[in-house]
A and B are shown apart, each in its own frame.
Chain A
Amino acid sequence: FSLLSLAVNVDLQTDGTLQVDISDALSERDKVKFTVHTKSTLPSFKQNEFSVVRQHEEFIWLHDSFVENEEYAGYIIPPAPPRPDFDASREKLQKLGEGEGSMTKEEFTKMKQELEAEYLAIFKKTVAMHEVFLCRVAAHPVLRKDLNFHVFLEYNQDLSVRGKNKKEKLEDFFKNVVKSADGVLVAGVKDVDDFFEHEKTFLLEYHNRVKDASAKSDRMIRSHKSAADDINRIASTLYTLGTQDSTDVCKFFLKVSELFEKTRKIEARVAADEDLKLADLLKYYLRESQAAKDLLYRRGRALVDYENANKALDKARAKNKDVLQAETTQQICCQKFEKISESAKQELIDFKTRRVAAFRKNLVELAELELKHAKVTSPHLLLVKN
């Protein structure tokens, strides 16, 4: 199993000192085991090249450790990969097994192949998403040096992280509620810096729109896939019709069936490519823009804290009481805010560069693939016509 293409090809600049990829992945019942392969010249690693087996939960643990680390408050934390979801595909496969009796052998084989292909596609995508996360971290000037990251890459035992239990999940939920309420509060505060003020309004709107576009693209692609499935079924029905006897019409049916089969494959490819180049791109930027928003929130929070600290200091001075403590707090807040602002500005500029590059790359590839598919279809159609 090799990864031929990255689902989301976010342009990442690497200096070659740390290269991470997922060389293999294994689907075991409800979990996927990724083989994370690292090549590095960094002195902190014991070897130059090594591999470990990781699961999705460990990726999440790594991601959360970044988010929770105050040190990284000024950075856009690479979005965590989505949970592998084979449920839908598995369910379909199961249904197919149940309905085996009601269809012909050809239909069954065909459907099975279809579902297997679908399963494989989801699998590849899942792997790619996990890989992208690691690549992003490895390419990040600060995060690549993170100790947890190194442990994640190098430690060849189970990290014995576990999925969050119910209680923790509930806590997370409340945290999120508080955070988003706070986010609204913070967002309402007028920023002193025009750059951030602009970024704030931009990201707020952008995130919503990319969310919408992502959902819509999913729907579009889903109906495209359904249409391709229909064409597939048309092909097999035509085939059955064509094999009834050997008259002229039947031969014609067979020919048309073959053509529909090809058309189906191409349509399915078109849908898959749109999924890969368009929907996944949008989905990735949905999460990435969320990460950028989170960064702005952290900065906004720091700003509010800083302003509050200023006010507290003013009060303390007026009352001449606990001035020193207030001064220290104000100092810390100021430092924190400035630190975040400093890195955040660069991060947001980078985010934009990455975004534009990724969109360019994906849209160009999409257009090229669409052209390729459309051009492949035409001669087939002409063939039957003549």
Chain B
Amino acid sequence: MKMAASSERSPPPFPDAEDQESEPALRDEDSDEGADIFLGTNPLEAMADSTFSASDVLSDLPNDLLGEPPSAVFGDPLSNISKQESTSNPAKQSSKLPSDVPCDIFDPLHGTGMEPKDDGKNASLIDIVINPVTSAKDNLPVDDLLSQPEIDIPAKTKTEQPAELRSEERPKDEPLSVASSKPKKDLFEDSPEDLFSELPKTKAKTKPQMDLFGDSSPDLFMDAKAAADTGPGRNAPADLFSEESVATTTSKSAKSNISANSIVTANSKANGVHSDEEEQDIFAEATVELSLDSPHNNRKTLDTTKPSEPASSLSAAAGSSKAQAKTLEELEEEESEDKFELNISITNPEKVGDGMNAYMAYKVSTQTTLPMFRSKTFTVRRRFSDFLGLYEKLSEKHSQNGYIVPPPPEKSLLGMTKVKVGKDDPSSGEFVERRRASLERYLQRVVCHPSLLQDPDVREFLEREELPRAVNTQALSGAGFLKMINKATDAVSKMTIKMNESDVWFEEKLQEVESEDQQLRKLHAVVDSLVSHRKELSVNTAVFAKSVAMLGSSEDNTALSRALSQLAELEDKIEQLHQEQAGNDFFVFTELLADYIRLLGAVRGSFDQRMKSWQRWQDAQTTLQKKREAEAKLLWANKPDKLQQAKDEIAEWEGKVTQYEREFERVSATVRKEVIRFEKEKARDFKKQIIKYLESLLQSQQQLIKYWEAFLPEAKAIA
């Protein structure tokens, strides 16, 4: 058994041992179930599914499926890779599987953008492949990987409902090939690029592999770990490898032989290079299943599916939006039922480097009981741009689906420059503390989001020792970021005029959000002015205290002189109180408002995404209408030769319309959920923070009472 094997392999000193064990249990369960259903489905589908599991990088290959040829097949390409490094093709595909499935196929545009980044990862991926063979240390990555498969498992552990949906969908899909047409197109578009980008990767791969075979250097372990953390897709192959590693190398080669013929199809599918219709359908179906997701799965698995949702968007997720909504509801319930056992704190801001290249590094400490992390507590060091990078990744993946991705704090050139210059003035200290606190709140918001928490990038951010340097965060800096939001919201408001809103809820919410945004901005400005006035008051009180002390010293009545110097002391203390209160005004109140102004921007962004989705649907409808008109003209003109083409086009566009409509429904559902979630969180946040703020006010009032009570007898003693 794979799991057993992996724990056997794991060396005792690894603290993760227990986590490892918990993972397998989960996994086994799921996979068992999955297998059952699998077998229960009609033979045609069974076949389809098994191939799909391979294509989808379902690392599900474990024992249950292992017996079945397809799963074996699936595992094999990878083993192949590890064995025959020189064979660039399978190796390519294995590395491609991970990165392509979640990104490229789902969104060709983004996928291509991400390609270059993947190079390094893919290279390191190979390291994993080899490492199991070379050393036991690989358990680390393996472990992480184990949690990943769950994404895919739910697809198999479908309840009947999804299954029905699927079957309903089938007849629709097959005759018309509606669903497949679009993905096909996209995939085809995608494939050349994939292939191109793969080429360099394969080159990169070969080298490390050679090295690995030669010796198990410690660096490689690091690589393996890093690679393991990078993503679900990537993890899957790693999983396979680890499994492979359990088996002897000879068995690997044996398997590779068996699967030799199926490798091509499986892998090509995964890459999105679909060669025939049948496979396409299967693939589409597979993704539908993926998004339907078993409701009875645990929270984690539910969450994990979210990132993969986009799959359904392209592959005509029939009725998936409904199912999705349902899952989300359940998700929310579950969320409130059991709180995430995850605490994040950011501490120890530290200046790294000198001069203008200096930056602040923060210690990000995580404490968790969630099994998906490899240990209960861990810390990493991150710099500001890493946080921006995280946002960028999350936003890229999730914004388009209507998720409200918490925005990070803005870049502050001025503040950072002060820190860089290294002047020990209080404002730079304040800046660092402010930044630290807002980064902490940002991360907490991210992990509070059930779907974002499941994102591999989030986990990588929290766990991985070294992150690749985030690039292009400049574009996100401060004003630019806000401008972006404002632009987006402007666009929304413009579009609103065009969009005759079918759902009153959205119309009202958007209005609410907009007026709230306005009010919060106003409130922010006022509280900000309170902060500055309070600071001013503090300064002026200090100055007055000094002045009173001087007056007291020149007073020739002893008792009065004494009382005045007491008054000066009192004013000094009050000055401290004002200062502290100004700090509370700022950190508790202003920052809360600033956060929510940013968050409301993100909320408006999600409305914007919904609008875009609607627009796309409408455009498709318009196009379809035109096509129909064209067909009618052809009919009238009696041109049968062109008629077939016109009909095909109509069919294609009908499919697109349906698909976009579903997509729009799905995004709408997500936005609605997200907004409800956001409002809940907002209510909680505001109550918590305002009460905290009131407590600070109360405290300073009580201090005031103490001070004046002490002063009163002094005043009375004047004679």
Residue of B nearest to A214 (CB): B547
Bound CA–CA A367/B627 (angstroms): 85
* CB–CB A223/B540 < 8 A: yes
* B638 close to A (CB within 8 Å): no
Q: Which residue of A lies closest to B511 (CB)?
A: A244
Q: Nearest chain A CB to B495's CB is how many angstroms away?
A: 24
Chain A residue numbers with a CB within 8 Å of B540 are 216, 219-220, 222-223
Bound-complex Cα distance A368 to B712 (A): 7
Q: Is the CB of B519 within 8 A of A240?
A: yes
Alpha-carbon distance A370/B520, docked complex (angstroms): 33
**Complex-state Cα separation, A212 to B694, whole angstroms:** 35
Question: Is B709 among interface residues, defined by CB-CB distance under 8 A?
Answer: yes
In angstroms, Cα B683 to Cα A252, docked, is 9
- Residue of A245, A253, A359, A385 with most chain B CB atoms under a 10 A cut-off: A359
Least distance between A378 CB and chain B CB atoms (Å): 5
A248 to B516, CA, bound (A): 15
Give residues of chain A (162-202) contacting chain B, Cβ–Cβ below 8 Å: 202
- 1/0 per residue, CB under 8 A from A, across B663-692: the answer is 000000000000000010011001100110
Let me know if B533 is at the binding interface, CB within 8 A. yes
Interface assignment of B467: CB less than 8 Å from any CB of chain A: no
Neighbour of A226 across the interface among B516, B536, B559, B694, CB < 8 A:
B536
CB-defined contacts of B651 to chain A, threshold 8 Å: none
Main secondary structure on A side of the interface with B: helix
CB-based nearest B residue for A206 = B554
Question: A382 contacts which chain B residues (CB < 8 A)?
Answer: 698
Q: Are B526 and A259 in contact (CB under 8 A)?
A: no
User: Is A381 in contact with B537, judged by CB distance below 8 angstroms?
Assistant: no
Closest to A238 in B: B523
Q: Does B557 contact A (CB under 8 A)?
A: yes
* A350 interfacial contact with B, CB 8 Å: no
Interface centre among A210, A238, A367, A375 (most CB of B within 10 A): A367
Contact flags A347-369 to B (C-beta < 8 A → 1, else 0): 00000100110011001101110
Cα–Cα, bound, A226→B683 (Å): 29
Q: How many A-B residue pairs have CB under 8 A?
A: 156
The docked-state distance in angstroms from the alpha carbon of A217 to that of B516 is: 39
Contact of B705 with A375 in the complex, beta carbons under 8 Å: yes
Distance A160 CA – B527 CA, assembled complex (angstroms): 52
CA distance A196 to B354 in the complex (A): 65
B137 within 8 A of A: no
Query: When the two chains form their complex, are residues A374 and B708 in contact, meaning their CB atoms are under 8 A apart?
Result: yes
What is the CA–CA distance of A244 and B541 in the complex, to the nearest angstrom? 39
B25 at the interface (CB under 8 A from A): no
Report yes or no: B686 in contact with A206, Cβ–Cβ below 8 A. Answer: no
Interface presence of B274 (CB below 8 A): no
* B560 contacts the other chain (CB 8 A): yes
Inter-subunit contact A385/B691 (CB<8 Å):
yes
Q: Is the interface of B mostly helix, strand, loop or mixed?
A: helix
Contacts of B556 in A (CB 8 A): 202, 352
Q: Which B residues between 532 and 549 are near A, CB-CB below 8 angstroms?
A: 533-534, 536-537, 540-541, 543-544, 546-548
Residues on the B chain within 8 Å of A210, using CB: 551
Knowing A220-B537, A220-B541, A385-B695 are in contact, say whether A364-B526 is a contact too (CB < 8 A).
no
Q: Which of B547, B555, B697 contacts A212 (CB 8 A)?
A: B547
Q: List B294-336 residues whose CB lies under 8 Å from chain A.
A: none
Q: Which chain A residues lie closer than 8 Å to B708 at the CB level?
A: 367, 370-371, 374
Nearest A residue to B518 via CB reads A240
Contact B519 A241 (CB under 8 A): yes
Q: How far is the CB of A347 from chain B (nearest CB, A)?
A: 16
List residues of chain B with CB within 8 A of the CB of A226: 529, 533, 536-537
CA distance A360 to B719 in the complex (A): 7
Taking a contact as CB atoms under 8 Å apart, the answer to whether A384 and B694 are in contact is yes
Measured in the bound complex, the distance between the Cα atoms of B289 and A280 in whole Å is 79
User: A352 contacts which chain B residues (CB < 8 A)?
Assistant: 556-557
Determine if A233 is an interface residue (Cβ-Cβ < 8 Å).
yes
Q: Interface digits, A214-247 against B, CB 8 Å rule (1 contact, 0 not)?
A: 0011011011101100110110011011001101
> Cα distance A153–B181 when bound, in Å?
104
**B635: Cβ under 8 A from any A Cβ:** no
Write out the residue numbers on chain B whose beta carbons fall within 8 Å of the beta carbon of A378. 698, 701-702, 705
Whether A205 sits at the interface, judged by CB under 8 Å, is: yes
Q: Is the CB of B560 within 8 A of A237?
A: no
Contacting residues, chain A, for B560 (C-beta < 8 A): 355-356, 359-360
A-facing residues in B255-289 (Cβ within 8 Å):
none
User: Any chain B CB within 8 A of the CB of A256?
Assistant: yes
Residues of A within 8 A of B716 (CB): 360, 364
Asked if A341 CB lies within 8 Å of chain B CBs, one says no
Residue of B at shortest CB range from A222? B540
CA distance A370 to B577 in the complex (A): 14
A249 in contact with B683 (CB, 8 Å): yes
Contacts of A359 in B (CB 8 A): 560, 563-564, 718
Residue of A nearest to B526 (CB): A233
Least CB distance from B580 to A in Å reads: 14
When each residue 384-422 of chain B gets 1 if its CB lies under 8 Å from chain A and 0 otherwise, what string results? 000000000000000000000000000000000000000
Q: Which residues of A contact B543 (CB under 8 A)?
A: 216, 219-220
- A residues less than 8 Å from B3 (CB atoms): none
Query: Is B711 among interface residues, defined by CB-CB distance under 8 A?
Result: yes
Please measure, in the bound complex, the distance between the C-alpha atom of A385 and the C-alpha atom of B551, giving whole angstroms: 42
For the complex formed, measure the closest distance between the CB of A204 and the CB atoms of chain B, giving whole angstroms: 9
CA distance in complex: A8, B554 (Å): 22
CA distance A220 to B538 in the complex (A): 8
Chain B nearest CB: distance from A323 CB in Å?
44
Q: Does B550 contact A (CB under 8 A)?
A: yes
Residues 540-584 of B, flagged 1 when their CB comes within 8 A of A and 0 if not, give 110110111011001111011001100100000000000000000
Taking the complex as formed, is A263 at the interface, i.e. its CB lies under 8 A from any CB of chain B?
yes
Which chain A residue has the least Cβ–Cβ distance from B564? A359
Whether, in the assembled complex, A311 has its beta carbon less than 8 Å from a beta carbon of chain B, the answer is no
| Further contacts, 14 of them, CB under 8 A, given A209-B554, A352-B557 | A212-B551, A220-B540, A223-B536, A223-B540, A227-B533, A227-B534, A237-B522, A241-B523, A245-B512, A249-B683, A359-B718, A370-B704, A374-B701, A384-B694
Q: Could you list 22 examples of A-B contacts with CB < 8 Å?
A: A202-B554, A213-B544, A222-B540, A223-B536, A234-B526, A237-B526, A241-B516, A241-B523, A244-B512, A248-B683, A249-B679, A249-B687, A256-B690, A356-B718, A360-B563, A367-B708, A371-B705, A374-B704, A375-B705, A378-B698, A381-B695, A384-B694
Closest 8 CB pairs of A and B: A230-B530, A360-B718, A363-B715, A223-B537, A216-B544, A381-B698, A220-B540, A249-B683
